[in-house]
Amino acid sequence: MTDGRPLVVVGDVLMDRDVSGRVERLAPDAPVPVVDEEAIRSRPGGAGLAALLAAADGRPVTLVTALAEDLAGVELRAMLVERGIEVAELELDGATPEKVRIGTATRPLLRLDRGGAPGAVGEPAAAIRAAIGWAAAVLVADYGRGVTAQPRVREALEALPAEVPVVWDPHPRGATPTRGVALATPNLAEATALVPEPAGDALPAVAARARALAARWEARRVCVTCGARGAVLSGAGGAPLAVPAEPAAGGDPCGAGDRFASRAATALAAGATAEEAVRDAVAAASAFVAAGGARVLGGTEPAAPAGRAAGYAPGDDAVALADAVRAAGGTVVATGGCFDLLHPGHIRSLEAARALGDCLVVCLNSDASVRRLKGEGRPVVGEADRAAVLRALRCVDAVMVFEEDTPAAALERLRPDVWAKGGDYAGRELPEAAVLERWGGRAVVLPFVDGKSSTRLIEEASLRAVR
């Protein structure tokens, strides 16, 4: 479904704060470490993190949640709106919940939770029910604080037509998934608590839990995420699918579940099968962990230097990567195109673009966008495969798929320092120049590689097939 309808994220938003510093002594009045504060990083957590990550995938996002009129609530609204996320609110009875993690650069020491018990939420307005009804897909990011248990919210979810996929990321204290969800994504600990037998975490036991939960919840498919081991997808019948994860040595798993669920939801919204969505989500979660997890998002102090040499893997969230590179004083470069049938001309242009800065983000036309630009029969290669090939290139640090005819909206989210265009634009006014001027970015034209064209390759292949 690529008609411009949003992905709707439904769930509880938290404020996550990371306080980091040095520990060089113990307190004189108790044997506890003294943390000399160096940096505080704040970011949306819970359903807010899931929404932020989904928006980074290039799809419009509406977040249905509950926020209080307190300092944390105001701060969260500003963070979400800044990322282009539309927020539809229920009234929260109580304080906006906060999780404050205190530690050093290498070791967590303490977590402080604020906000008390889950707060009751008010009756959703008709606009909220309408937002759910207009979704291309829905991600329920349940953190057990009441939004997903609200009767009218559940009614709106249950009223969705079968062709609108719902991904439900459950919580031990949360609501039971509504009937018929396309994909439920409990982690292994959650699945084991719900289905203790058969014992163990071997593949057959995990698959049995997934099948049992699919039957219990009347879900079409259940995918049990197993951390560094990957994920196991199963339904009421059929053989399970085991998807291994790429190793992410030294990474941070904070937020990996939200990265998995948000990528699965955006893939299903774009028309992927459950198997394709799970494979994509496992790859995205692995890259996210390798990049440093949720801790690379937001913050008031510069992050560690970014870029592939500093631990960023291809396929990371483009906006998060760009933010981290900028925070470290680096230069963000972006380029764009359809990249249908990748050829040597593309490779040379991408390598030239990467040489202009510290990271390269490719803005990739979606299948629907390519079809509008190139006509029926294009693209020859689907967007998921085109993105996967680009991410595999050493010169590409991240890929952002966009639905529109131009990359203007994607550029607004990325705000690159440099926008690189192909040599066929030499001597012409670049259409993105006006957008770049808003934040001081500049456009450059790359050297033209003569005789290299996807269209020409497709035409030649067609002629050979006719002969």
Inter-CA distances, 363 with 263, 355, 396, 405, 432, Å: 17, 17, 11, 12, 13
Q: Is 84 exposed, middle or buried (0-12, 13-18, 19+ CB in 10 A)?
A: middle
Name residue, tokens 């960023």.
Answer: 312
- CA-CA distance, 393 to 352, in Å (whole number)? 13
Query: Are the C-beta atoms of residues 248 and 207 closer than 8 Å to each other?
Result: no
The confidence score (pLDDT) of residue 232 equals 93
The confidence score (pLDDT) of residue 466 equals 44
Q: What top-level class would CATH report for the domain 7-289?
A: alpha beta
Q: What top-level class would CATH report for the domain 313-466?
A: alpha beta
The confidence score (pLDDT) of residue 13 equals 93
Catalytic residue among 142, 169, 258, 323: 258
The confidence score (pLDDT) of residue 276 equals 93
Q: In the chain, what's the furthest Cα-to-Cα distance?
A: 88
The confidence score (pLDDT) of residue 461 equals 46
- CA-CA distance, 185 to 194, in Å (whole number)? 13
- CA-CA distance, 333 to 403, in Å (whole number)? 20
Q: Is 258 a catalytic residue?
A: yes
Query: Are the C-beta atoms of residues 6 and 62 closer than 8 Å to each other?
Result: yes
Mapped onto helix, strand or coil, the DSSP state of residue 83 is coil
Order of strands, edge to edge, in the sheet holding 222-225?
120-121, 86-93, 61-67, 7-11, 137-141, 166-169, 183-184, 222-225, 231-234, 241-243
Q: Range(s) for CATH 3.40.1190.20 in the chain?
A: 7-289
Backbone torsions φ then ψ of 79, nearest 5 degrees: -60, -45
The confidence score (pLDDT) of residue 59 equals 83
Residues near 71 by Cβ (< 8 Å), separated by ≥ 6?
none
Mapped onto helix, strand or coil, the DSSP state of residue 44 is strand
Q: Which of 378, 399, 403 is nearest to 388 (CA)?
A: 399
Q: Range(s) for CATH 3.40.50.620 in the chain?
A: 313-466
> Residues in the chain with pLDDT < 70?
1-3, 116-120, 249-251, 295-316, 423-430, 447-467
- Enter the pTM of the model: 0.64
The confidence score (pLDDT) of residue 269 equals 92
Query: Are the C-beta atoms of residues 163 and 214 closer than 8 Å to each other?
Result: no
